[in-house]
Structure 1
Amino acid sequence: MTGDHYFTAEPSASAEPREVRFTLAGREYALASAAGVFSATRLDPGTAVLLRKAELPGPATTGALLDLGSGFGPITCALATLAPSATVWAVDVNARARELTAANAARLGVADRVRAVTPDEVPTELGFTQIWSNPPIRVGKEELHQMLRRWLPRLTPDGVAWLVVARHLGGDSLHRWLVEQGWQVERHASQKGFRVLRVTR
């Protein structure tokens, strides 16, 4: 046993490489994963619901997109392949997650449009037309709120954020908190105990 969490900056667990496969919008994805990152052995159920139920970007989507808490990169890779005119910023504190995301982007031929970075490496002036996140609820409510206070204001005026949160982990209370913070929040979908929230200004 180690003390690693998926939000550990430098996981000490041996990598134990593996592959995670899923299908989205008629395309098969086979992504490299490893121990010490979020949902290392499969596409996380919340992420699966988010990608299935949210409005995916398309060829007309431009600008910068943000995958907040990228893990090994399933959301990043989906966004980059679906929106060939957009740049995807994959933000994660976990170094192994960033390495895997970059490697998976290269495997898919989209590395030129993917930036796998730490939170502090994102240019401060950059705004995002879309933010996507299966946020790390287990870091605790205060850290989660702090994270969303930091990143949601980076939405462009007509931008949209897509969040997925398990109902039993506080999906409905997070919805209320976001409204209290002045955001427009729509429960876009519910499936398998997860809430997909659409957040706009």
Structure 2
Amino acid sequence: MTGDHYFTAQPASDAPPREVEFSVADRDYRLASAGGVFSASRLDPGTAVLLRKAELPTATTGDLLDLGCGFGPITCVLADHAPASTVWAVDVNARARELTAANAARVGAGDRVRVRAPDDVPAEIRFAQIWSNPPIRIGKDGLHDLLLRWLPRLAPDGVGWLVVARHLGGDSLHRWLTDQSWQVERHASQKGFRVLRVTR
């Protein structure tokens, strides 16, 4: 056993190749995955709810952010459905970044996806939308720090889409974001998950 988590920067665990298949908005995806990344063997149920219930940015032309991209399912769906946008895929996990880059190329969007470690995203970029199934397992303080770092980088009319399990604090996160002066709407609830729409 190793001490790897999906938020480990350089996973040392074995990485047997896998493939994950899913469908979003009548399009089928088959992406490469591997051990040592978030939800390596399937599309995470929270991510599935987010992609099904949030409003895909089909007409958006700005920069989009997938915060905590894992092996890239949100990145690939955003790039596929927003062909005029650039998608920034951010993760601390180097293996996740490698997989996301490969999967972006697999869906024909490699030229519009920028895969980066958090500190390597240019400070001047402002995002039309931020999408995230945030890493709850890093703890409440870590989660709050993460959101305090990235949500302020929304464009003035930007939208954040977050999915959080109710039993892992979805409702308390809603209240905390409101306390931080964000406008928060519970856009959808399904299978125990909250989809939150966050604006200024």
Equivalent-residue separation in structure 1 for 2:90 and 2:117 (angstroms): 5
Instruction: Give how far 1:168 is off.
Output: 0.3
Q: Which residue of 2 aligns with 1:32?
A: 32
Q: Deviations over 1:80-119 (max 9, x none)?
A: 0000000000000000000000000011110000011000
Matches within 5 A, 1:108-123: 108-123=107-122
Equivalent-residue separation in structure 2 for 1:46 and 1:26 (angstroms): 19
Matches within 5 A, 1:35-184: 35-58=35-58, 60-184=59-183
Equivalent-residue separation in structure 2 for 1:44 and 1:108 (angstroms): 19
Kindly provide the amino acid, as one letter, of the partner of residue 180 in structure 1. D
Instruction: Give how far 1:25 is off.
Output: 1.0
* TM-score normalised to structure 2 length: 0.99
Instruction: Give how far 1:61 is off.
Output: 1.0
Number of residue pairs aligned between Structure 1 and Structure 2: 200
Question: Structure 2: which 5+ residue stretches go unaligned?
Answer: none
Q: Which residue of 2 aligns with 1:185?
A: 184
Q: Which residue of 2 aligns with 1:15?
A: 15
Equivalent-residue separation in structure 1 for 2:195 and 2:108 (angstroms): 29
Instruction: Give how far 1:126 is off.
Output: 0.5
Q: Deviations over 1:34-65 (max 9, x none)?
A: 0000000000000000000001111x211100
Kindly provide the amino acid, as one letter, of the partner of residue 45 in structure 2. P
Equivalent-residue separation in structure 2 for 1:80 and 1:161 (angstroms): 16
Q: Deviations over 1:141-173 (max 9, x none)?
A: 001000000000000011000000000000000
Equivalent-residue separation in structure 1 for 2:142 and 2:102 (angstroms): 29
Kindly provide the amino acid, as one letter, of the partner of residue 78 in structure 2. L
Instruction: Give how far 1:19 is off.
Output: 0.1
Kindly provide the amino acid, as one letter, of the partner of residue 12 in structure 1. A
> What SS does structure 2 have at the residue aligned with 1:131?
strand
Equivalent-residue separation in structure 2 for 1:61 and 1:23 (angstroms): 21
Kindly provide the amino acid, as one letter, of the partner of residue 29 in structure 1. Y
Instruction: Give how far 1:2 is off.
Output: 1.3
Equivalent-residue separation in structure 1 for 2:62 and 2:53 (angstroms): 22
- % of aligned pairs identical? 79
Equivalent-residue separation in structure 1 for 2:109 and 2:55 (angstroms): 21
Alpha-carbon RMSD across the aligned residues, in angstroms, is 0.4
Equivalent-residue separation in structure 1 for 2:187 and 2:98 (angstroms): 32
Equivalent-residue separation in structure 1 for 2:25 and 2:57 (angstroms): 11
Equivalent-residue separation in structure 1 for 2:45 and 2:106 (angstroms): 23
Large movers: runs of 4+ above 2 Å: none
Equivalent-residue separation in structure 1 for 2:97 and 2:182 (angstroms): 29
Kindly provide the amino acid, as one letter, of the partner of residue 132 in structure 2. S
